[in-house]
Chains A and B, each alone.
Chain A
Amino acid sequence: MSRIAVYLLLAFAVVTVGFPVYYAFAGALMGPSELASYPPALLPHSVTGRNFAGAVHAIPLGRQYLNSAITATVITVAQLLTSILAAYAFVFLPLRARAAVFAVFLATLMVPWEAVIIPNYLTISGWGLGNTYFGLVLPFLASGFGTFMLRQSFRQFPAELRDAARIDGAGHWRFLWRVLVPLSKPSLAAIAVYVFLSAWNQYFWPLIITRTAQMQTLQIGMESLRDAEVADPGLVLAGVVLTLLPTLALVVLGQRFIVRGLTAGAVR
C-alpha cells in the first residue's frame, strides 16, 4: 500500500474518532442559535461561556463533583489498602489453603456485577444506606483485580532486599509499609489510576442507589441536564466537558500507568 494511502486512511480515522470529542468542546462554546443553525455550524463563531454557567445553574454540579470525588477517592484508597494486605498474605505469609483462597479472589473477577446488583441493592437499602455515601462505596472496598495485580508485583520483589530487611529486625508490618510499599509505587499507581477511573465513571450502581440530585454523582447528574433542557444541547455539552476534565487530565498525565493497568490481564 502506498504511503499516501496509509496517511489518508489514518487521517480519515482520526477525523471520525476525533469528531465527537471536538464537537463536545465546540458545541459547549456555541450559543443556542448556532447549535440549531442550518447548515450545521461546525466552528463556534462567537465563543460563549454561557453554557457552562447555565449547566452549573441547572444542576447542583458542584455538589455532584464532590460526590464523585469522594466516592472515587474512598473506593481507590480502600481498594489499595485491602489489596495490599491480601496480596501480602498471598506472597509473604504462610497459608495452608493458599490455592483455594486465591481461587476465591479470582472467581470474584468473573462474576458480572449486573448479576448480583439486585441483592446488593436490597442489602444496601435494607441497611438504610440508600442515597448515602456509604451506599455508594461499600460494595467496592475490595477487589480481586487489585489483589491479583499486586500479587504479581510482590512476587517479583527481590529476595535479597527482603532478607536484608529481616536481618535488620523488621517484622512483617514494618517490612510491608517501610520497604515493600514504597518500592512498589509504580504498580500501586497503575492500580490507583485504573480504579479511580472506573469508580469515577460508574453508572449502573449510582443510578439505582441514589435518589436525590444532591447525592447523585456527575455521571448521573449529567443526564438529568439533558432531560431538563431538551432544547439546549449547548448546556448538555458544557456539562459533559465539565465532567470530562478530571478524567481527561488523568488519561493524559497517567497514560503510561493506564497502559500498564489495562493490558495487565492480556497475554504476555
Chain B
Amino acid sequence: MPTARRSRRDWGERTLAWAFLTPSLVVFALFIGYPLGRTFYLSAHANDLFGAPSRYVGLRHYTDLLGSAEFHQTLVTTALFVLLTVVPGVVGALALVLLLESRIHGVRAFRSAFALPFAFSVASASVVFSVLYNPASGVLNGLLSQLGVAPVGWLTDQRYALLSVGAATIWMTLGYNVLVLSAGVGSIPQEITEAARLDGASGLRLARSVTVPLLGPHLFFLVVVSTINALQSFGQIHILTKGGPDGATRTLVYSVYEKAFAYGSSDFGTASAQAVVLLVVVLACAGVQFGVLERKVHYA
C-alpha cells in the first residue's frame, strides 16, 4: 500500500513543519501581532493616571493630535531630522566610497577607519558626543574659543540642538553606509569600469556616468533603510537632549516615549495614537521600497 504509507509520511512531515514553525510563530503572535492590535485598541481608549484603559473614545486621540500645535512641531522635527541625517549621511558615504575607488593606496586601511563608528552602540556614541558637546568643558567649544569664536550651546540652544543630534547620528551611521555602498561598488562588473576607463573616462566623469548610475539600486536601498532608521532613532535623543530644549528635538518616537514612560507619565492612549502614526509612516516607506524594487530589479 504505497499511497497509504506515503500519505502517512506526508502527514508526519506536515506536522513536523508546523512543529518547527511554532516557536517563532508563538513569539511573533505574543510580541508583534497581539501588541499591534492592542496599540490600536489603546489608541481608541481614554486611560486613567496609571495607563489602564477606561472608556472608548474612538478617533478622539487622533483628532486631538491633528489639532495639537505640539504634535505638528513633533512631525516637522521628525521630518527635519530625517532630512538632516539621511541626505548628508548617504551623500557623504557616497563621496567617501567614490574617493576610495579612485585607485589609491591604502584603500583597506581607509575603509576600516570609516567602519570604526560601527563598533559604537547608539548609547556609547551618544555619551561620547555629550562629552564633546559639553558647553563648558567640551573639546568643541574649547577649539572654537581658540579661534576666537564664542561658545556654542550645542545641545541647549534651540537653533543648534537638532543639528547637533543629527551630526552625531550621521557619525553613527556612516560606517554602515560605507559598508553597503562599498559592497555595491564591488558588485559592479569590472569589465564595465575597465571599458569606461579605456574610453578615457576617469575621476568625476567615471563616477557620474558609470559608478553612480550602476549604484542606483544600492543607493535607493540605503535611502529607504536610513529613513526608516532615522524615524526610529531614540537613544541619541534620550541621552543628548531628552527631546529638548523646549521640544526642539522631540521626534515622533521620542514623543511616544515621553507620553508613555517619561516623568511618570502613563498616557498610553495618546502615546499609542502616535505609535500608530509612526507605524503608518514606516510601513509607507517599506511599501515604497517594495513597490519600486518590484519594478526595477533588473540592472547592470
Main secondary structure of the interface of A (DSSP, over half): helix
Measured between alpha carbons, how far is A75 from B265 in the docked complex, in Å?
Answer: 30
Q: A97-124, CB under 8 A of B: which get 1 and which 0? A: 0000100110010111111111111110
Looking at the assembled complex, report how far the CB atom of A144 sits from the nearest CB atom of chain B, in whole angstroms: 8
In the assembled complex, A167 has its CB within 8 A of some CB on chain B: no
Chain A residues whose CB sits within 8 angstroms of the CB of B179 once the complex forms: 258-259, 262-263
**Contacting pair A267 B297 (CB below 8 A):** yes
**Contacting pair A266 B96 (CB below 8 A):** no
Looking at the assembled complex, report how far the CB atom of B211 sits from the nearest CB atom of chain A, in whole angstroms: 14
Chain A residues whose CB sits within 8 angstroms of the CB of B129 once the complex forms: 20
Q: B64-83, CB under 8 A of A: which get 1 and which 0? A: 00000000000000000000
**Contacting pair A115 B282 (CB below 8 A):** yes
**Contacting pair B279 A111 (CB below 8 A):** yes
The listed residue (A13, A104, A237) touching B28 by CB distance below 8 A is: A104
Looking at the assembled complex, report how far the CB atom of A76 sits from the nearest CB atom of chain B, in whole angstroms: 15
In the assembled complex, B59 has its CB within 8 A of some CB on chain A: no
Measured between alpha carbons, how far is A254 from B231 in the docked complex, in Å?
Answer: 28
Q: B172-204, CB under 8 A of A: which get 1 and which 0? A: 001010011001100100000000000000011
In the assembled complex, A45 has its CB within 8 A of some CB on chain B: no
The listed residue (B26, B113, B256) touching A14 by CB distance below 8 A is: B113
**Contacting pair A115 B279 (CB below 8 A):** yes
Which of B26, B114, B128, B129 has the most C-beta atoms of chain A within 10 angstroms of its own C-beta? B128
In the complex, chain A residues 179-227 whose Cβ is within 8 Å of any chain B Cβ: 200-201, 203-204, 207-208, 219-220, 222-223, 225-226
Looking at the assembled complex, report how far the CB atom of A256 sits from the nearest CB atom of chain B, in whole angstroms: 11
In the assembled complex, A172 has its CB within 8 A of some CB on chain B: yes
The listed residue (A17, A226, A236) touching B171 by CB distance below 8 A is: A17
Main secondary structure of the interface of B (DSSP, over half): helix
Chain B residues whose CB sits within 8 angstroms of the CB of A132 once the complex forms: none
Q: B1-19, CB under 8 A of A: which get 1 and which 0? A: 0000000001001101110
Known pairs A115-B276, A118-B268, A208-B257; list 15 more (Cβ under 8 Å).
A14-B110, A20-B117, A23-B132, A27-B131, A82-B24, A86-B21, A86-B24, A94-B14, A94-B17, A108-B32, A112-B228, A116-B39, A203-B122, A226-B130, A259-B183
A-B residue pairs in contact (CB < 8 Å), sample of 25:
A3-B104, A20-B132, A20-B171, A23-B132, A23-B139, A24-B128, A89-B17, A93-B16, A94-B17, A95-B21, A104-B28, A110-B283, A114-B253, A114-B278, A115-B275, A119-B35, A119-B39, A143-B24, A200-B121, A204-B235, A204-B257, A220-B123, A240-B127, A262-B176, A266-B222
A residues near B, CB below 8 A?
1, 3, 6-7, 9-10, 13-14, 17-18, 20-21, 23-24, 27, 35-36, 38-40, 42, 81-83, 85-86, 88-89, 93-96, 101, 104-105, 108, 110-123, 138-144, 147, 172, 200-201, 203-204, 207-208, 219-220, 222-223, 225-226, 233, 236-237, 239-240, 243-244, 247-248, 250-252, 255, 258-259, 262-263, 265-268
